A and B are shown apart, each in its own frame.
Chain A
Amino acid sequence: MSSSSDSTPAPASPAAGRTSLRVRLLLSLSSVLAFVLLGECVARVREPGPFSLVDTNPYLTGEKSHEVRHRPGFEGRWDSTWYRINGRGMRGPDIDWSLGDEELRVVCLGDSCTFGKGVLEEASWPRQLERLLQEALPEGQRARVANLGINGGDATSAHELLREQGLALRPDLVVYGANVNDFPNAVEAVNQKVFNEAPLKRLIPQGILDPLNRSALYRWARSLYYQSRRAQDWAAAEALAASMGEAPAESPAWARQRARVEAIQRDALAAGARCAIVLFPYESQIYLDSYDTSAIERLAALCAELEIPFIDLAEVFREHFRSAGEDLFIPGDRYHPNAGGYTLVARALLRLARTEGLLEAEESSAEDPPR
């Protein structure tokens, strides 16, 4: 009969136990790092454009927010968008603008919705408009469209860019893409609401939050979170819209906005160009059964008074959504249209080009909105 002590394993030494724990901790750390790296790569593959492992800053920043400009010749990824900036600092390829007079030239001003945040350059509405115009022009004539949109822009920066670069291109049409950035106190109201709803955000320095935006994995997680709270965001957007429209017409804020629009129109007309304004919609205006129109009516009235053609893109988007049922915004984004949304913008401006006499009118065409 054997002794029980012969089958009992020798107890592990403390040193062996510590080694085992260290190995396991190292295994855990390696797993987490591998997961983060893999997740970051997958998130970057999901974003449009060539793959890049890091974000690179495409901006030259002045002292004031409206002095932000693109780095000429820049190419790289920043904040979910692939940037390809030409030698003039505009999004798009380098173009020889010194060609002949048989050209229809359009200069596009505005913010990220004109720039085309989140979509490839060829899907932005200025580039789509260029293709549509080229198809509509007689043989031998060319369409050239310059995208002077810049993220975070407003009417002040748009007017500056028009004077810095746009007028030198001798445009036939200047289009300003207005947005919520243009309405008095709108950005301040949004910022206030965001910070009120995110108490932890007030405790974390912006210097820590900003680097997180460099992570595609973080951007993806955030867009999933935003997508999960669409209904709440839509309700909040409608409340903000109502407050934007309430600012008195004689208020200094609206007076400044009027002055900026007048300045864009004045400079465009002085250069022999027509001027038009489109107002970009946001999600709640498209997907809810009804929405506040006070801010739209305010801008439309201003354009009517100044005799500037005005396109309410909310109506364009709603008509298309009601008939086709397609999503028209980037997932998790309340403001930025996707490529399909920008197609609607380009088609609306093609129709405007016809009514303004820049193109021959047609009885009906493919770009007419579905009824």
Chain B
Amino acid sequence: MKFLRDNWLWIVGPIVLLALLVALFVAMTSGSGLENNTYDLG
């Protein structure tokens, strides 16, 4: 537990960074909600 407490930034930091990167990626590749009507048919 001490190890985890001492290294909490190594746990939380990458998760926060990933969440921000995913949000940025979604915003830049999704464009418009109108694309809901273009379907994923595999």
Which of B26, B34, B39 is the one whose CB lies under 8 Å from A233? Answer: B34
Q: Residues of B contacting A254 with CB < 8 Å?
A: none
**Is A193 positioned at the interface, with any CB of B under 8 Å from its CB?**
yes
* A31 CA / B8 CA spacing, docked (Å): 10
B7 near A333: Cβ-Cβ < 8 Å: no
- Report how far A24 CA is from B35 CA in the complex, Å: 41
Which of A3-11, A222-230, A303-311, A312-320 is the contact stretch? Answer: A222-230
Report whether B18 and A35 are in contact in the complex, using a CB–CB cutoff of 8 Å. yes
Question: B10 contacts A226, CB within 8 Å?
Answer: no
Contact with A along B6-42 (1 / 0, CB 8 A): 0100111111001000110111111111111111111
Using C-beta atoms within 8 Å of the partner chain, give the interface range for chain A: 35 or more
Is A213 interfacial (CB 8 A cutoff)? yes
Q: What's the Cα separation between A61 and B41 when bound, in Å?
A: 8
Chain A residues closer than 8 Å to B27, beta-carbon distance: 225
A237–B10 Cα distance when bound, in Å, is 44
Tell me, rounded to whole Å, the shortest Cβ–Cβ distance linking B35 to chain A.
4
Q: Is the CB of B15 within 8 A of A31?
A: yes
Q: Distance (Å) between the CB of A25 and the closest chain B CB?
A: 8
Evaluate contact between B35 and A336: CB separation under 8 angstroms: no
- Enumerate chain A residues within 8 angstroms of B26, measured Cβ to Cβ: 218, 221-222, 225
Contact B28 A201 (CB under 8 A): yes
Q: Chain B: how many interface residues by the 8 Å CB criterion?
A: 28
Chain B residues with CB under 8 Å of A230's CB are 33
Q: Mark each residue of chain A from 142 to 164: 1 if its CB lies under 8 Å from any CB of chain B, else 0.
A: 00000000011000000000000
Q: Would you call A54 an interface residue if the criterion is a C-beta within 8 Å of the partner chain's C-beta atoms? A: no
Q: Which residues of B are found within 8 Å of A196, using beta-carbon distances?
A: 31
Give the chain B neighbours of A68 by CB distance below 8 A.
41
Q: Check if B32 sits within 8 Å of A233, measured CB to CB.
A: yes
Instruction: Check if B34 sits within 8 Å of A190, measured CB to CB.
Output: yes
Known: A35-B15, A218-B26. A334 touches B42 (CB 8 A): no
In the assembly, what is the distance between CA of A361 and CA of B25, in Å?
55
Q: What sequence of 0s and 1s flags, for each residue 198-232 of chain A, a beta carbon within 8 Å of any chain B beta carbon?
A: 11110010000110010000100110011001101
Which of A68, A225, A335 neighbours the largest number of chain B CB atoms within 10 Å of its CB?
A225
Min distance, Cβ A229 to any Cβ of chain B, angstroms: 6
Majority secondary structure, B binding face: helix
Complexed CA–CA distance, A116 and B24 (Å): 30
Measured in the bound complex, the distance between the Cα atoms of B41 and A237 in whole Å is 23
Contacts of B10 in A (CB 8 A): 24-25, 27-28, 31
**Closest chain A residue to B37, Cβ basis:** A335
Q: Shortest CB–CB separation between residue B11 and chain A, in angstroms?
A: 4
Q: What residues of B have a CB within 8 angstroms of the CB of A58 in the complex?
A: 42
Q: Which of A1-40 contact B (CB under 8 A)?
A: 24-25, 27-29, 31-32, 35-36
Residue A51 is within 8 A (CB to CB) of chain B in the complex: no
Known A198-B29, A201-B29, A221-B22; judge A59-B35 contact (CB<8 A): no
Q: Given A65-B41, A194-B38, A221-B22, A201–B11 Cβ distance below 8 Å? A: no
In the complex, are the beta carbons of A240 and B28 less than 8 A apart? no
7 smallest beta-carbon distances between A and B, as pairs: A198-B31, A226-B33, A152-B39, A200-B28, A197-B31, A57-B42, A194-B31
Task: Please give 20 more A-B residue pairs, beta carbons under 8 A apart, in addition to A193-B31, A230-B33, A334-B33.
Answer: A27-B11, A28-B13, A31-B10, A31-B14, A31-B15, A59-B42, A79-B39, A112-B39, A152-B38, A152-B41, A193-B34, A197-B31, A198-B29, A199-B28, A200-B28, A201-B28, A221-B26, A222-B30, A236-B32, A333-B33
Residue numbers of A with Cβ under 8 A of B are: 24-25, 27-29, 31-32, 35-36, 57-59, 61, 65, 68, 78-79, 112, 151-152, 179-181, 187, 190-191, 193-201, 204, 209-210, 213, 218, 221-222, 225-226, 229-230, 232-233, 236-237, 240, 332-336
